[in-house]
A and B are shown apart, each in its own frame.
Chain A
Amino acid sequence: MVRVTDEVRRLRKRFEARAEESHVWEAVQLARHADRPYTLDYAERLFSDAFELRGDRAFSDDEALITLLARYHGQTVVAIGHQKGRDLAERTRRMFGMPHPEGYRKAIRAVELADRFGYPILTFVDTPGAYPGVNAEERGQAGMIARSILAFCQVSVPVVCSVIGEGGSGGALAIAVGDRVLMQENAIYSVISPEGCAAILWKDSGQARKAAYAFRPTAGACLDLGVVDAIVEEPKGGAHEDVDQAARLLDQSIRQALAEAEAIPAAQRRVARREKFRRMGVWGVADEDGADTL
Protein backbone atom coordinates (compact mmCIF):
# COMPACT_ATOMS: atom_id res chain seq x y z
CA MET A 1 0.00 0.00 0.00
CA VAL A 2 2.66 2.44 1.09
CA ARG A 3 4.80 1.40 -1.85
CA VAL A 4 2.03 2.15 -4.32
CA THR A 5 1.51 5.62 -2.86
CA ASP A 6 5.23 6.28 -3.12
CA GLU A 7 5.23 5.11 -6.68
CA VAL A 8 2.29 7.35 -7.55
CA ARG A 9 4.00 10.29 -5.89
CA ARG A 10 7.20 9.59 -7.77
CA LEU A 11 5.38 9.34 -11.09
CA ARG A 12 3.36 12.45 -10.41
CA LYS A 13 6.53 14.36 -9.61
CA ARG A 14 8.14 13.12 -12.81
CA PHE A 15 5.04 14.03 -14.77
CA GLU A 16 4.99 17.53 -13.31
CA ALA A 17 8.66 18.00 -14.16
CA ARG A 18 7.95 16.87 -17.73
CA ALA A 19 4.97 19.23 -17.98
CA GLU A 20 7.09 22.09 -16.67
CA GLU A 21 9.83 21.19 -19.14
CA SER A 22 7.34 21.33 -22.04
CA HIS A 23 6.02 24.66 -20.80
CA VAL A 24 9.52 26.16 -20.80
CA TRP A 25 10.26 24.74 -24.24
CA GLU A 26 6.96 26.07 -25.57
CA ALA A 27 7.96 29.58 -24.47
CA VAL A 28 11.31 29.16 -26.24
CA GLN A 29 9.50 28.18 -29.44
CA LEU A 30 6.88 30.92 -29.19
CA ALA A 31 9.55 33.56 -28.52
CA ARG A 32 11.23 32.47 -31.76
CA HIS A 33 8.04 31.93 -33.78
CA ALA A 34 8.48 33.09 -37.40
CA ASP A 35 5.22 35.09 -37.23
CA ARG A 36 5.91 36.69 -33.85
CA PRO A 37 5.46 40.49 -34.00
CA TYR A 38 8.73 42.42 -34.10
CA THR A 39 9.62 45.95 -33.00
CA LEU A 40 8.27 47.58 -36.19
CA ASP A 41 4.95 45.70 -35.90
CA TYR A 42 4.45 47.25 -32.47
CA ALA A 43 5.82 50.65 -33.55
CA GLU A 44 3.19 50.81 -36.31
CA ARG A 45 0.45 50.24 -33.75
CA LEU A 46 1.80 52.18 -30.76
CA PHE A 47 3.06 55.38 -32.39
CA SER A 48 1.02 58.01 -34.24
CA ASP A 49 4.06 59.46 -36.00
CA ALA A 50 7.58 58.22 -36.39
CA PHE A 51 10.85 59.13 -38.06
CA GLU A 52 13.63 56.58 -38.30
CA LEU A 53 17.02 57.76 -37.07
CA ARG A 54 19.59 55.92 -39.15
CA GLY A 55 23.31 55.43 -38.94
CA ASP A 56 25.92 55.55 -36.21
CA ARG A 57 27.70 58.62 -37.69
CA ALA A 58 30.92 56.63 -37.73
CA PHE A 59 30.72 53.52 -39.87
CA SER A 60 27.32 52.44 -41.21
CA ASP A 61 23.64 51.89 -40.50
CA ASP A 62 23.03 48.58 -38.75
CA GLU A 63 19.53 47.44 -39.67
CA ALA A 64 19.47 44.76 -36.96
CA LEU A 65 18.73 47.55 -34.52
CA ILE A 66 16.39 50.43 -35.29
CA THR A 67 15.99 53.78 -33.58
CA LEU A 68 12.94 56.01 -33.98
CA LEU A 69 11.85 59.44 -32.98
CA ALA A 70 8.16 58.78 -32.37
CA ARG A 71 4.95 60.20 -30.96
CA TYR A 72 3.47 58.08 -28.18
CA HIS A 73 0.14 59.16 -26.63
CA GLY A 74 0.78 62.77 -27.48
CA GLN A 75 4.42 62.99 -26.41
CA THR A 76 7.66 62.48 -28.28
CA VAL A 77 9.71 59.45 -27.30
CA VAL A 78 12.82 57.74 -28.60
CA ALA A 79 12.20 54.09 -29.47
CA ILE A 80 15.07 51.62 -29.77
CA GLY A 81 14.57 48.00 -30.78
CA HIS A 82 16.12 44.96 -32.35
CA GLN A 83 14.50 44.09 -35.66
CA LYS A 84 14.45 40.62 -37.21
CA GLY A 85 13.28 40.08 -40.78
CA ARG A 86 10.16 38.48 -42.23
CA ASP A 87 11.58 36.92 -45.39
CA LEU A 88 15.03 35.61 -46.22
CA ALA A 89 16.16 38.84 -47.91
CA GLU A 90 15.09 40.99 -44.96
CA ARG A 91 16.46 38.54 -42.44
CA THR A 92 19.84 38.64 -44.15
CA ARG A 93 19.77 42.43 -44.37
CA ARG A 94 18.86 42.67 -40.70
CA MET A 95 21.23 39.86 -39.66
CA PHE A 96 18.37 38.05 -37.90
CA GLY A 97 18.24 40.88 -35.38
CA MET A 98 21.86 40.44 -34.29
CA PRO A 99 23.53 43.86 -34.11
CA HIS A 100 27.13 44.74 -34.89
CA PRO A 101 28.93 47.37 -32.78
CA GLU A 102 27.60 50.09 -35.10
CA GLY A 103 24.07 49.10 -34.09
CA TYR A 104 24.88 49.75 -30.46
CA ARG A 105 26.69 52.94 -31.41
CA LYS A 106 23.46 54.05 -33.11
CA ALA A 107 21.53 53.12 -29.94
CA ILE A 108 23.91 55.23 -27.85
CA ARG A 109 23.38 58.11 -30.27
CA ALA A 110 19.60 57.79 -29.81
CA VAL A 111 19.90 57.54 -26.02
CA GLU A 112 21.98 60.71 -25.91
CA LEU A 113 19.51 62.50 -28.18
CA ALA A 114 16.63 61.52 -25.90
CA ASP A 115 18.48 62.78 -22.85
CA ARG A 116 19.30 66.07 -24.56
CA PHE A 117 15.63 66.82 -25.23
CA GLY A 118 14.10 65.10 -22.21
CA TYR A 119 12.26 62.48 -24.29
CA PRO A 120 11.42 59.18 -22.59
CA ILE A 121 13.11 56.09 -24.03
CA LEU A 122 11.15 52.95 -24.94
CA THR A 123 13.10 49.86 -25.95
CA PHE A 124 11.97 46.62 -27.56
CA VAL A 125 14.28 43.68 -26.93
CA ASP A 126 14.26 40.82 -29.42
CA THR A 127 17.60 39.33 -30.43
CA PRO A 128 19.28 35.93 -30.37
CA GLY A 129 22.36 37.92 -29.28
CA ALA A 130 24.95 40.36 -30.57
CA TYR A 131 26.48 39.14 -33.86
CA PRO A 132 29.47 36.90 -33.08
CA GLY A 133 31.50 37.56 -36.24
CA VAL A 134 35.11 38.49 -36.93
CA ASN A 135 34.24 41.99 -38.18
CA ALA A 136 32.01 42.65 -35.19
CA GLU A 137 34.82 41.62 -32.85
CA GLU A 138 37.39 43.72 -34.69
CA ARG A 139 35.19 46.77 -34.38
CA GLY A 140 34.87 46.28 -30.62
CA GLN A 141 31.60 44.39 -30.03
CA ALA A 142 32.26 43.84 -26.32
CA GLY A 143 33.28 47.42 -25.60
CA MET A 144 30.30 48.82 -27.50
CA ILE A 145 27.84 46.65 -25.54
CA ALA A 146 29.46 47.88 -22.32
CA ARG A 147 29.21 51.49 -23.51
CA SER A 148 25.58 51.04 -24.46
CA ILE A 149 24.74 49.67 -21.00
CA LEU A 150 26.59 52.64 -19.52
CA ALA A 151 24.68 55.09 -21.73
CA PHE A 152 21.38 53.68 -20.43
CA CYS A 153 22.70 54.00 -16.85
CA GLN A 154 23.61 57.64 -17.35
CA VAL A 155 20.44 59.24 -18.69
CA SER A 156 18.00 61.11 -16.47
CA VAL A 157 14.97 60.60 -18.77
CA PRO A 158 12.48 57.77 -18.04
CA VAL A 159 13.44 54.45 -19.63
CA VAL A 160 10.97 51.58 -20.13
CA CYS A 161 12.27 48.34 -21.67
CA SER A 162 10.10 45.51 -23.02
CA VAL A 163 11.42 42.04 -23.80
CA ILE A 164 9.15 41.07 -26.70
CA GLY A 165 10.79 37.92 -28.06
CA GLU A 166 14.29 36.59 -27.49
CA GLY A 167 16.25 38.40 -24.80
CA GLY A 168 19.57 36.92 -25.86
CA SER A 169 22.45 37.69 -23.53
CA GLY A 170 24.58 40.84 -23.60
CA GLY A 171 23.24 41.82 -27.01
CA ALA A 172 19.80 42.12 -25.41
CA LEU A 173 20.90 43.70 -22.12
CA ALA A 174 22.72 46.43 -24.07
CA ILE A 175 19.30 48.08 -24.58
CA ALA A 176 17.46 46.60 -21.57
CA VAL A 177 18.62 48.71 -18.63
CA GLY A 178 15.61 50.77 -17.65
CA ASP A 179 13.59 52.23 -14.78
CA ARG A 180 10.98 49.60 -15.57
CA VAL A 181 11.57 46.34 -17.43
CA LEU A 182 8.58 44.48 -18.87
CA MET A 183 8.49 41.04 -20.38
CA GLN A 184 5.85 39.45 -22.56
CA GLU A 185 4.34 36.23 -21.31
CA ASN A 186 6.01 34.04 -23.95
CA ALA A 187 9.24 35.96 -24.31
CA ILE A 188 12.50 34.49 -23.04
CA TYR A 189 15.46 36.21 -21.40
CA SER A 190 18.71 34.40 -20.74
CA VAL A 191 22.45 34.72 -20.43
CA ILE A 192 23.06 32.33 -23.32
CA SER A 193 20.83 30.47 -25.79
CA PRO A 194 19.59 27.07 -24.60
CA GLU A 195 21.61 25.53 -27.46
CA GLY A 196 24.76 27.37 -26.39
CA CYS A 197 24.29 26.38 -22.76
CA ALA A 198 23.72 22.74 -23.72
CA ALA A 199 26.80 22.73 -25.95
CA ILE A 200 28.99 23.98 -23.09
CA LEU A 201 27.55 22.28 -20.00
CA TRP A 202 26.09 19.11 -21.54
CA LYS A 203 28.69 19.05 -24.32
CA ASP A 204 25.77 18.44 -26.72
CA SER A 205 23.70 21.24 -28.27
CA GLY A 206 20.94 18.65 -28.82
CA GLN A 207 20.20 18.90 -25.09
CA ALA A 208 18.79 22.44 -25.51
CA ARG A 209 15.42 21.44 -24.07
CA LYS A 210 17.05 20.14 -20.92
CA ALA A 211 19.25 23.23 -20.65
CA ALA A 212 16.25 25.55 -21.07
CA TYR A 213 14.44 23.73 -18.28
CA ALA A 214 17.49 23.95 -16.02
CA PHE A 215 18.09 27.67 -16.47
CA ARG A 216 14.48 28.86 -16.85
CA PRO A 217 14.52 31.74 -19.32
CA THR A 218 10.77 32.29 -18.83
CA ALA A 219 8.94 35.47 -17.88
CA GLY A 220 7.70 33.83 -14.67
CA ALA A 221 11.22 32.99 -13.52
CA CYS A 222 12.49 36.47 -14.42
CA LEU A 223 9.68 38.04 -12.40
CA ASP A 224 10.36 35.76 -9.42
CA LEU A 225 14.06 36.65 -9.50
CA GLY A 226 13.29 40.37 -9.57
CA VAL A 227 14.81 40.88 -13.00
CA VAL A 228 11.62 42.18 -14.62
CA ASP A 229 8.92 44.32 -13.03
CA ALA A 230 5.83 42.95 -14.76
CA ILE A 231 4.67 40.33 -17.23
CA VAL A 232 2.72 41.51 -20.26
CA GLU A 233 -0.13 39.22 -21.19
CA GLU A 234 -0.35 37.90 -24.75
CA PRO A 235 -3.38 36.76 -26.76
CA LYS A 236 -4.23 33.08 -26.37
CA GLY A 237 -1.73 30.98 -28.31
CA GLY A 238 0.89 33.72 -28.43
CA ALA A 239 1.37 37.29 -29.69
CA HIS A 240 1.39 36.19 -33.35
CA GLU A 241 -2.20 34.90 -33.09
CA ASP A 242 -3.56 38.45 -32.81
CA VAL A 243 -0.96 41.16 -33.32
CA ASP A 244 -3.40 44.04 -32.77
CA GLN A 245 -4.49 42.61 -29.45
CA ALA A 246 -0.88 41.90 -28.46
CA ALA A 247 -0.03 45.53 -29.26
CA ARG A 248 -2.98 46.79 -27.19
CA LEU A 249 -1.85 44.72 -24.20
CA LEU A 250 1.75 45.86 -24.59
CA ASP A 251 0.59 49.47 -24.93
CA GLN A 252 -1.34 49.30 -21.64
CA SER A 253 1.66 47.90 -19.78
CA ILE A 254 4.12 50.38 -21.30
CA ARG A 255 1.82 53.32 -20.49
CA GLN A 256 1.59 52.24 -16.89
CA ALA A 257 5.31 51.56 -16.58
CA LEU A 258 6.11 54.89 -18.22
CA ALA A 259 3.85 56.70 -15.75
CA GLU A 260 5.70 54.97 -12.90
CA ALA A 261 9.08 55.89 -14.37
CA GLU A 262 7.93 59.49 -14.91
CA ALA A 263 6.87 59.66 -11.26
CA ILE A 264 10.52 59.27 -10.19
CA PRO A 265 11.99 62.79 -9.93
CA ALA A 266 14.35 63.38 -12.89
CA ALA A 267 17.25 64.22 -10.58
CA GLN A 268 16.92 60.84 -8.85
CA ARG A 269 16.30 58.59 -11.85
CA ARG A 270 19.94 57.78 -12.57
CA VAL A 271 20.60 56.79 -8.96
CA ALA A 272 17.32 54.89 -8.66
CA ARG A 273 18.03 52.93 -11.86
CA ARG A 274 21.53 52.08 -10.66
CA GLU A 275 20.18 50.91 -7.31
CA LYS A 276 17.49 48.82 -8.97
CA PHE A 277 20.16 46.80 -10.77
CA ARG A 278 22.50 46.86 -7.78
CA ARG A 279 19.91 44.85 -5.83
CA MET A 280 19.88 42.05 -8.42
CA GLY A 281 21.59 38.86 -7.37
CA VAL A 282 21.27 36.14 -4.79
CA TRP A 283 24.03 35.07 -2.42
CA GLY A 284 24.72 33.58 0.97
CA VAL A 285 27.20 34.35 3.71
CA ALA A 286 29.75 31.89 5.06
CA ASP A 287 30.95 31.98 8.66
CA GLU A 288 34.55 33.00 9.24
CA ASP A 289 35.85 29.52 8.54
CA GLY A 290 34.01 29.41 5.24
CA ALA A 291 32.44 26.32 6.79
CA ASP A 292 28.99 27.25 5.55
CA THR A 293 29.80 25.92 2.11
CA LEU A 294 31.70 22.88 3.35
Chain B
Amino acid sequence: MAPVEIDVERPKGDDDPGRRHPNTCPSCRSHYRDDELRHALRVCAQCGHHFPVGALERIDQLVDPGTFAEIGAELRAADPLAFVDLKPYTDRLLDAELATGLGDALVAGTGLVVGRPAAIAVMDFAFMGGSMGSVMGERFCLAADAALARGIPLVSVTASGGARMQENILALMQMAKTVGAVDQLREAGVPYISVLAHPTTGGVIASFASLGDVVIAEPNALLSFAGPRVVEQTTGEKTAPDFGRAESNLRLGQLDAVVPRRELRAELARLLLLFSPAEDEPTGEQGPVPLPDDATISGERPVDRVLGRLGLGRRRG
Protein backbone atom coordinates (compact mmCIF):
# COMPACT_ATOMS: atom_id res chain seq x y z
CA MET B 1 0.00 0.00 0.00
CA ALA B 2 1.43 3.37 -1.00
CA PRO B 3 1.77 5.70 1.99
CA VAL B 4 -0.52 8.69 1.86
CA GLU B 5 1.44 11.92 2.04
CA ILE B 6 -0.15 14.33 4.48
CA ASP B 7 1.59 17.43 5.64
CA VAL B 8 0.93 17.94 9.31
CA GLU B 9 2.40 20.52 11.62
CA ARG B 10 3.83 18.71 14.62
CA PRO B 11 4.41 20.07 18.08
CA LYS B 12 8.00 20.29 19.24
CA GLY B 13 9.28 17.26 21.11
CA ASP B 14 7.20 14.90 18.99
CA ASP B 15 10.35 13.02 18.04
CA ASP B 16 11.17 12.20 21.64
CA PRO B 17 10.30 8.50 22.02
CA GLY B 18 9.47 9.13 25.68
CA ARG B 19 6.73 11.55 24.68
CA ARG B 20 5.34 9.57 21.79
CA HIS B 21 2.26 7.48 22.47
CA PRO B 22 3.14 3.78 22.18
CA ASN B 23 0.41 3.32 19.57
CA THR B 24 1.72 6.13 17.39
CA CYS B 25 3.84 4.83 14.55
CA PRO B 26 7.38 6.17 14.98
CA SER B 27 7.98 6.01 11.26
CA CYS B 28 4.81 7.54 9.72
CA ARG B 29 3.01 8.95 12.80
CA SER B 30 -0.22 7.09 12.11
CA HIS B 31 -2.05 6.56 15.37
CA TYR B 32 -4.13 3.53 16.27
CA ARG B 33 -6.52 2.43 18.97
CA ASP B 34 -5.05 -0.48 20.89
CA ASP B 35 -7.62 -3.04 19.69
CA GLU B 36 -7.09 -1.84 16.13
CA LEU B 37 -3.35 -2.34 16.39
CA ARG B 38 -3.81 -5.68 18.09
CA HIS B 39 -6.01 -6.96 15.29
CA ALA B 40 -3.41 -5.80 12.77
CA LEU B 41 -0.80 -7.91 14.63
CA ARG B 42 0.75 -4.59 15.70
CA VAL B 43 1.86 -3.77 12.17
CA CYS B 44 1.23 -0.24 10.92
CA ALA B 45 -1.38 -0.44 8.15
CA GLN B 46 0.03 2.73 6.63
CA CYS B 47 3.77 2.02 6.39
CA GLY B 48 4.31 -1.55 7.57
CA HIS B 49 6.25 -0.58 10.70
CA HIS B 50 6.35 -3.47 13.18
CA PHE B 51 5.39 -2.33 16.69
CA PRO B 52 6.65 -4.41 19.63
CA VAL B 53 4.49 -7.40 20.60
CA GLY B 54 4.22 -8.65 24.17
CA ALA B 55 4.97 -12.31 24.86
CA LEU B 56 1.36 -13.34 25.51
CA GLU B 57 0.03 -11.53 22.49
CA ARG B 58 2.78 -13.11 20.37
CA ILE B 59 1.67 -16.54 21.58
CA ASP B 60 -1.92 -15.66 20.61
CA GLN B 61 -0.65 -14.66 17.17
CA LEU B 62 1.30 -17.85 16.55
CA VAL B 63 -0.20 -20.67 18.60
CA ASP B 64 -3.58 -22.28 17.89
CA PRO B 65 -6.21 -20.99 20.37
CA GLY B 66 -6.55 -23.06 23.53
CA THR B 67 -3.48 -25.23 22.87
CA PHE B 68 -0.79 -23.33 24.77
CA ALA B 69 0.35 -24.90 28.05
CA GLU B 70 2.78 -22.77 30.00
CA ILE B 71 5.87 -24.25 31.69
CA GLY B 72 7.77 -22.71 34.58
CA ALA B 73 5.21 -19.94 35.12
CA GLU B 74 5.87 -20.05 38.86
CA LEU B 75 9.56 -19.12 38.56
CA ARG B 76 10.46 -15.64 39.80
CA ALA B 77 13.75 -13.79 39.83
CA ALA B 78 15.62 -13.75 43.12
CA ASP B 79 18.05 -10.98 43.96
CA PRO B 80 21.32 -12.81 44.69
CA LEU B 81 23.44 -9.66 44.77
CA ALA B 82 20.92 -7.49 46.68
CA PHE B 83 21.41 -5.17 43.73
CA VAL B 84 20.53 -1.50 44.00
CA ASP B 85 21.27 1.08 41.33
CA LEU B 86 19.03 4.13 41.21
CA LYS B 87 16.27 1.74 42.26
CA PRO B 88 16.40 -1.69 43.96
CA TYR B 89 16.26 -4.67 41.58
CA THR B 90 13.29 -6.04 43.52
CA ASP B 91 11.34 -2.83 42.81
CA ARG B 92 12.15 -3.06 39.13
CA LEU B 93 10.92 -6.67 39.09
CA LEU B 94 7.70 -5.72 40.81
CA ASP B 95 7.06 -2.83 38.43
CA ALA B 96 7.74 -5.10 35.46
CA GLU B 97 5.37 -7.80 36.68
CA LEU B 98 2.64 -5.25 37.35
CA ALA B 99 3.12 -3.73 33.90
CA THR B 100 3.23 -6.95 31.90
CA GLY B 101 1.49 -9.58 34.02
CA LEU B 102 4.54 -11.78 33.48
CA GLY B 103 6.84 -13.36 36.07
CA ASP B 104 9.87 -12.69 33.87
CA ALA B 105 10.83 -11.63 30.35
CA LEU B 106 10.35 -15.06 28.77
CA VAL B 107 7.23 -17.23 28.59
CA ALA B 108 7.83 -20.92 27.89
CA GLY B 109 5.40 -23.68 27.02
CA THR B 110 4.11 -26.06 24.40
CA GLY B 111 1.34 -25.65 21.86
CA LEU B 112 0.18 -26.26 18.32
CA VAL B 113 1.17 -24.03 15.42
CA VAL B 114 -1.36 -24.60 12.66
CA GLY B 115 -1.92 -28.07 14.05
CA ARG B 116 1.75 -28.97 14.52
CA PRO B 117 3.15 -29.37 18.03
CA ALA B 118 6.11 -27.28 19.14
CA ALA B 119 7.83 -26.15 22.30
CA ILE B 120 7.65 -22.37 22.50
CA ALA B 121 9.81 -19.74 24.17
CA VAL B 122 8.71 -16.14 23.66
CA MET B 123 10.31 -13.03 25.08
CA ASP B 124 8.76 -9.74 26.16
CA PHE B 125 10.81 -6.57 25.74
CA ALA B 126 8.46 -4.69 28.09
CA PHE B 127 9.74 -6.76 31.02
CA MET B 128 13.01 -5.00 31.91
CA GLY B 129 14.07 -4.67 28.29
CA GLY B 130 13.69 -8.41 27.73
CA SER B 131 16.85 -8.88 29.76
CA MET B 132 18.15 -12.38 30.41
CA GLY B 133 18.61 -13.45 34.01
CA SER B 134 18.39 -16.76 35.85
CA VAL B 135 14.64 -17.21 35.31
CA MET B 136 14.86 -16.67 31.57
CA GLY B 137 17.72 -19.15 31.32
CA GLU B 138 15.82 -21.77 33.29
CA ARG B 139 12.56 -21.24 31.39
CA PHE B 140 14.35 -21.50 28.04
CA CYS B 141 15.92 -24.76 29.23
CA LEU B 142 12.50 -26.03 30.36
CA ALA B 143 11.13 -25.33 26.87
CA ALA B 144 14.10 -27.20 25.38
CA ASP B 145 13.48 -30.07 27.83
CA ALA B 146 9.87 -30.28 26.64
CA ALA B 147 11.01 -30.32 23.01
CA LEU B 148 13.48 -33.06 23.83
CA ALA B 149 11.05 -35.16 25.88
CA ARG B 150 8.37 -35.10 23.19
CA GLY B 151 10.67 -34.98 20.18
CA ILE B 152 9.00 -31.81 18.91
CA PRO B 153 10.77 -28.74 17.50
CA LEU B 154 11.60 -25.72 19.63
CA VAL B 155 10.55 -22.28 18.40
CA SER B 156 11.83 -19.16 20.12
CA VAL B 157 10.88 -15.53 19.51
CA THR B 158 13.41 -13.15 21.02
CA ALA B 159 13.33 -9.43 21.87
CA SER B 160 16.03 -8.43 24.29
CA GLY B 161 18.58 -5.79 25.15
CA GLY B 162 20.88 -8.53 26.44
CA ALA B 163 21.89 -9.99 29.77
CA ARG B 164 20.36 -8.61 32.96
CA MET B 165 23.01 -6.49 34.69
CA GLN B 166 21.30 -6.79 38.07
CA GLU B 167 22.24 -10.48 38.14
CA ASN B 168 25.71 -9.79 36.75
CA ILE B 169 27.79 -12.95 36.45
CA LEU B 170 24.82 -15.29 36.86
CA ALA B 171 23.16 -13.49 33.95
CA LEU B 172 26.30 -14.03 31.86
CA MET B 173 26.23 -17.72 32.73
CA GLN B 174 22.73 -18.02 31.26
CA MET B 175 24.41 -17.68 27.86
CA ALA B 176 26.37 -20.89 28.50
CA LYS B 177 23.34 -22.55 30.07
CA THR B 178 21.00 -21.84 27.15
CA VAL B 179 23.64 -22.79 24.57
CA GLY B 180 24.00 -26.06 26.50
CA ALA B 181 20.27 -26.61 25.98
CA VAL B 182 20.72 -26.03 22.24
CA ASP B 183 23.63 -28.48 22.27
CA GLN B 184 21.31 -31.06 23.81
CA LEU B 185 18.74 -30.49 21.03
CA ARG B 186 21.46 -30.85 18.39
CA GLU B 187 22.74 -34.04 19.96
CA ALA B 188 19.23 -35.51 19.93
CA GLY B 189 18.38 -34.24 16.44
CA VAL B 190 15.55 -31.99 17.60
CA PRO B 191 15.03 -28.95 15.34
CA TYR B 192 15.30 -25.43 16.73
CA ILE B 193 13.81 -22.45 14.89
CA SER B 194 14.87 -19.02 16.12
CA VAL B 195 12.79 -15.93 15.30
CA LEU B 196 14.51 -12.63 16.03
CA ALA B 197 12.24 -9.66 16.73
CA HIS B 198 13.25 -6.06 17.34
CA PRO B 199 15.60 -5.71 19.12
CA THR B 200 17.66 -8.83 19.78
CA THR B 201 21.06 -7.72 21.02
CA GLY B 202 23.83 -8.47 23.51
CA GLY B 203 23.88 -11.73 25.42
CA VAL B 204 20.73 -13.14 23.83
CA ILE B 205 21.88 -12.83 20.20
CA ALA B 206 25.35 -13.96 21.30
CA SER B 207 23.94 -17.20 22.68
CA PHE B 208 20.90 -19.36 21.88
CA ALA B 209 19.13 -16.94 19.53
CA SER B 210 21.91 -17.20 16.92
CA LEU B 211 22.00 -20.97 17.05
CA GLY B 212 18.69 -21.89 15.44
CA ASP B 213 18.89 -24.58 12.76
CA VAL B 214 16.91 -21.93 10.93
CA VAL B 215 17.14 -18.27 11.94
CA ILE B 216 14.55 -15.79 10.69
CA ALA B 217 13.91 -12.17 11.61
CA GLU B 218 11.17 -9.59 11.50
CA PRO B 219 11.60 -6.62 9.15
CA ASN B 220 13.88 -3.82 10.34
CA ALA B 221 14.65 -5.56 13.64
CA LEU B 222 17.93 -4.42 15.21
CA LEU B 223 20.07 -7.54 15.57
CA SER B 224 23.58 -6.85 16.78
CA PHE B 225 25.96 -7.75 19.59
CA ALA B 226 26.66 -4.10 20.41
CA GLY B 227 24.02 -1.48 19.66
CA PRO B 228 24.83 1.45 17.35
CA ARG B 229 25.26 3.85 20.28
CA VAL B 230 27.81 1.60 22.00
CA VAL B 231 29.70 1.12 18.73
CA GLU B 232 29.88 4.87 18.13
CA GLN B 233 30.85 5.73 21.69
CA THR B 234 33.45 2.99 22.07
CA THR B 235 35.14 2.98 18.68
CA GLY B 236 34.32 6.43 17.35
CA GLU B 237 33.06 4.80 14.14
CA LYS B 238 29.96 6.11 12.42
CA THR B 239 27.15 3.62 11.94
CA ALA B 240 24.96 3.59 8.85
CA PRO B 241 21.17 3.89 9.34
CA ASP B 242 20.78 0.22 8.38
CA PHE B 243 23.48 -0.90 10.87
CA GLY B 244 22.56 -4.23 12.43
CA ARG B 245 19.09 -4.26 10.88
CA ALA B 246 17.48 -7.53 9.78
CA GLU B 247 17.88 -6.70 6.08
CA SER B 248 21.62 -5.98 6.51
CA ASN B 249 22.05 -9.20 8.45
CA LEU B 250 20.31 -11.12 5.65
CA ARG B 251 22.64 -9.53 3.08
CA LEU B 252 25.68 -10.33 5.23
CA GLY B 253 24.73 -13.98 5.56
CA GLN B 254 23.71 -14.00 9.22
CA LEU B 255 20.05 -14.97 8.61
CA ASP B 256 17.95 -17.30 6.50
CA ALA B 257 15.01 -14.96 5.94
CA VAL B 258 13.29 -11.73 6.86
CA VAL B 259 9.62 -12.53 7.34
CA PRO B 260 6.87 -9.92 7.81
CA ARG B 261 4.75 -10.60 10.88
CA ARG B 262 1.60 -11.31 8.83
CA GLU B 263 3.40 -14.26 7.22
CA LEU B 264 5.23 -15.49 10.30
CA ARG B 265 2.70 -18.07 11.47
CA ALA B 266 2.39 -19.61 8.00
CA GLU B 267 6.17 -19.61 7.57
CA LEU B 268 6.65 -21.34 10.93
CA ALA B 269 4.01 -23.91 9.94
CA ARG B 270 5.91 -24.54 6.70
CA LEU B 271 9.18 -25.05 8.60
CA LEU B 272 7.53 -27.37 11.13
CA LEU B 273 6.21 -29.39 8.19
CA LEU B 274 9.62 -29.49 6.52
CA PHE B 275 11.24 -30.68 9.77
CA SER B 276 8.62 -33.39 10.28
CA PRO B 277 9.20 -37.05 9.27
CA ALA B 278 8.57 -38.05 5.65
CA GLU B 279 5.40 -40.10 6.21
CA ASP B 280 3.71 -37.28 8.09
CA GLU B 281 0.91 -35.84 5.94
CA PRO B 282 0.07 -32.19 6.58
CA THR B 283 -2.97 -32.01 8.82
CA GLY B 284 -3.65 -28.43 9.83
CA GLU B 285 -5.28 -25.94 7.49
CA GLN B 286 -3.08 -22.99 6.66
CA GLY B 287 -5.85 -20.48 7.18
CA PRO B 288 -5.45 -16.84 8.05
CA VAL B 289 -4.18 -15.95 11.48
CA PRO B 290 -7.19 -15.95 13.81
CA LEU B 291 -7.93 -12.70 15.56
CA PRO B 292 -7.37 -12.77 19.29
CA ASP B 293 -10.56 -13.40 21.27
CA ASP B 294 -11.48 -13.58 24.93
CA ALA B 295 -10.09 -17.09 25.28
CA THR B 296 -6.55 -15.91 24.54
CA ILE B 297 -3.85 -16.45 27.11
CA SER B 298 -3.06 -12.77 27.19
CA GLY B 299 -6.40 -12.31 28.97
CA GLU B 300 -6.21 -12.94 32.69
CA ARG B 301 -2.90 -13.59 34.40
CA PRO B 302 -2.27 -14.58 38.03
CA VAL B 303 -1.22 -11.03 38.76
CA ASP B 304 -4.63 -9.78 37.60
CA ARG B 305 -6.46 -11.90 40.16
CA VAL B 306 -4.32 -10.43 42.88
CA LEU B 307 -4.71 -6.92 41.54
CA GLY B 308 -8.45 -7.52 41.23
CA ARG B 309 -8.70 -8.39 44.89
CA LEU B 310 -6.88 -5.21 45.70
CA GLY B 311 -9.25 -3.28 43.43
CA LEU B 312 -6.43 -2.41 41.02
CA GLY B 313 -5.78 -3.00 37.33
CA ARG B 314 -2.67 -3.85 35.39
CA ARG B 315 -0.78 -0.78 34.28
CA ARG B 316 -0.69 -1.75 30.63
CA GLY B 317 -3.88 -2.33 28.59
A: residues with CB less than 8 A from B are 130-134, 136-143, 145-147, 149-150, 153-154, 169-170, 173, 176-177, 189-192, 196-197, 200-203, 211, 214-217, 221-222, 225, 227, 270, 273-274, 277-278, 280-294
Binds A, one of B24-32, B55-63, B236-244, B286-294: B236-244
Q: Which of chain B's residues has its CB closest to A199's CB? A: B233
Complex contacts, A273 vs chain B, CB 8 Å: 180
B184 and A274 contact, CB distance less than 8 A: yes
B168 and A190 contact, CB distance less than 8 A: yes
Complex contacts, A289 vs chain B, CB 8 Å: 302, 305-306
CB distance from A138 to the nearest CB of B (A): 5
B165 and A291 contact, CB distance less than 8 A: no
B77 and A146 contact, CB distance less than 8 A: no
Complex contacts, B301 vs chain A, CB 8 Å: 290
CB distance from B81 to the nearest CB of A (A): 6
B175 and A214 contact, CB distance less than 8 A: no
A282 and B224 contact, CB distance less than 8 A: no
Q: Does B202 contact A (CB under 8 A)?
A: yes
Mark interface residues in B151-186 (1 if CB within 8 Å of A CB, else 0): 000000000000111111111111111011111100
In chain B, positions 220-279 with a C-beta closer than 8 Å to chain A are 223-226, 230-231, 234-235, 237, 239, 243-244, 248, 252-254
CB distance from A184 to the nearest CB of B (A): 15
B211 and A281 contact, CB distance less than 8 A: no
Q: Does B84 contact A (CB under 8 A)?
A: yes
CB distance from A24 to the nearest CB of B (A): 12
Q: Which of chain A's residues has its CB closest to B303's CB? A: A290
B: residues with CB less than 8 A from A are 74-78, 80-81, 83-86, 93-94, 97, 103, 133-135, 137-138, 141, 163-177, 179-184, 187, 201-203, 205-211, 223-226, 230-231, 234-235, 237, 239, 243-244, 248, 252-254, 301-303, 305-306
Closest 9 CB pairs of A and B: A281-B134, A132-B226, A290-B302, A201-B85, A142-B225, A215-B168, A274-B180, A146-B210, A143-B210
